[in-house]
């Protein structure tokens, strides 16, 4: 089996199947063996583990995952790639290609059918235009995951891993860090892809927490509060929460809740830690 990280092999496969890249599907195939090795190493897979790949392309990363994991499930949306994967993965008996849109897939059913109780890691070069919806689906559904190791746009990775007080810290930072411990694995040059993307990339590992980063009385209220707090970054918490939380007591109640939680109403959301958001959310939960 020829390794697809060889650019000439990748080009030969693409030409033989008359495949044309679609920008709207975010198709940029990895052709750098060094980056491929770092992704697989970060996933820390064994033959007792399972790997879920989203958007396998022509199977470059899939081939490497098949050498390290016991079972690999590759979810591919593009009809045109299914016959290509059938050829490039024909010598990988532990790989199963699931032809579907991952955002419309019942992942709990898929895990039960294909992984049979194995520890599972998601390992993927995600289409950048749907990175956040995919990552949040994986986390919010509380799948039996060890980690999520994904290639994403640099700015998205930096927001996921950001600390309070910086320009990158926002609702995505809190959502990801509530469920996981993020770690930047490596930066990826544009030359690692075919075709080369217009953006810089980063491989990030999201280690799934056994318990959420903070305990909250009501998760829905917690995340609603976070979204409201960051609705307009330049506004104070008092203004954002007053106009976006729609509490029955209006501004007076928001002011009471902030002061009761020890949070200065004139602070901006980007300065609050996840613990402070949790404390404030629990204060709101007592009134609703």
Same-domain status, 204 and 224: no
Half-sphere exposure of 261 (CA within 13 A, CB side): 26
Alpha-carbon distance of 189 to 248, in angstroms, equals 51
Q: Is 282 helix (H, G, I), strand (E, B) or coil?
A: helix
Same-domain status, 137 and 167: yes
**Which CATH number belongs to the domain containing residue 15 in this structure?**
3.40.50.150
Alpha helices in the chain (DSSP H): 7-16, 33-43, 60-68, 82-88, 107-114, 131-140, 154-161, 171-179, 219-229, 237-244, 250-260, 274-285
- pLDDT value for 199: 86
Domain containing 76 equals 7-208
- pLDDT value for 248: 83
* 225 domain residue, yes or no: yes
Q: Is 244 annotated as a binding residue?
A: no
Q: Is 198 annotated as a binding residue?
A: no
- pLDDT value for 26: 67
Same-domain status, 19 and 153: yes
101: Cβ contacts below 8 Å, ≥ 6 apart = 77
- pLDDT value for 8: 78
Verify cis geometry, omega within 30 degrees of 0, for the bond prior to 147: no
Same-domain status, 35 and 121: yes
Same-domain status, 164 and 264: no
Same-domain status, 157 and 263: no
* 213 domain residue, yes or no: no
- pLDDT value for 181: 98
Show pLDDT as tens, one digit a residue, over the chain (288 residues).
567 777 778 888 888 888 777 766 667 888 899 999 999 999 999 999 999 999 999 999 999 999 999 999 999 999 999 999 999 999 999 999 999 999 999 999 999 999 988 999 999 998 888 999 999 999 999 999 999 999 999 999 999 999 999 899 999 999 999 999 999 999 999 999 888 888 899 999 999 999 999 999 999 999 999 999 999 988 999 999 999 988 887 888 889 989 888 999 999 999 999 999 999 999 988 876
Same-domain status, 44 and 63: yes
**Which CATH number belongs to the domain containing residue 248 in this structure?**
1.10.8.100
Alpha-carbon distance of 188 to 67, in angstroms, equals 23
Read off the tokens for 20: 């044309």
Q: Is 55 annotated as a binding residue?
A: yes
Q: What is the DSSP letter of 80?
A: G
User: Checking DSSP bridges between strand 180-188 and strand 201-208, what pairing results, if any?
Assistant: antiparallel
- pLDDT value for 5: 76
Same-domain status, 244 and 142: no
Q: Is 125 annotated as a binding residue?
A: yes
* 214 domain residue, yes or no: no
Read off the tokens for 43: 């996933």
Domain count, the chain: 2
Alpha-carbon distance of 2 to 18, in angstroms, equals 19
* 2 domain residue, yes or no: no
Phi, psi at 117, each rounded to 5°: 85, 0
Q: Is 239 annotated as a binding residue?
A: no
Q: Is 106 annotated as a binding residue?
A: no
């Amino acid at each position: 089996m020829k390794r697809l990280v060889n650019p000439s092999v990748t080009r030969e496969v693409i030409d033989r199947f008359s495949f044309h890249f679609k920008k709207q599907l975010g198709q940029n195939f990895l052709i750098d063996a060094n980056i491929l090795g770092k992704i697989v190493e970060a996933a820390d897979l064994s033959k007792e583990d399972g790997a879920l790949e989203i958007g396998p392309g022509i199977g470059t990363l899939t081939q490497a995952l098949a050498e390290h994991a016991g079972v690999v499930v590759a979810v591919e949306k593009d009809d045109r790639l299914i016959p290509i994967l059938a050829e490039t993965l024909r010598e990988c008996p532990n790989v199963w290609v699931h032809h579907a849109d991952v955002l419309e897939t019942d992942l709990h059913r898929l895990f039960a059918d294909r992984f049979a109780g194995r520890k599972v890691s998601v390992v993927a070069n995600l289409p950048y235009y749907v990175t956040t919806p995919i990552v949040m689906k994986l986390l919010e559904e509380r799948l039996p995951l060890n980690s999520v190791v994904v290639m994403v746009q640099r700015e998205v990775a930096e927001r996921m891993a950001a600390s309070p007080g910086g320009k990158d810290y926002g609702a995505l930072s809190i959502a990801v860090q509530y469920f996981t411990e993020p770690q930047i694995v490596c930066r990826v040059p544009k030359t690692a892809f075919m075709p080369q993307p217009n953006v810089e990339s980063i491989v990030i590992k999201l280690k799934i927490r056994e318990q959420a980063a903070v305990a909250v009385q009501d998760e829905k209220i917690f995340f609603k509060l976070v979204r409201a707090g960051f609705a307009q970054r330049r506004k104070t918490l008092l203004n954002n929460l007053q106009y976006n939380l729609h509490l029955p007591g209006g501004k007076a109640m928001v002011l009471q809740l902030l002061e009761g939680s020890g949070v200065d109403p004139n602070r901006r959301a980007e300065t609050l830690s996840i613990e402070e958001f949790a404390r404030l959310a629990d204060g709101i939960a007592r009134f609703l």
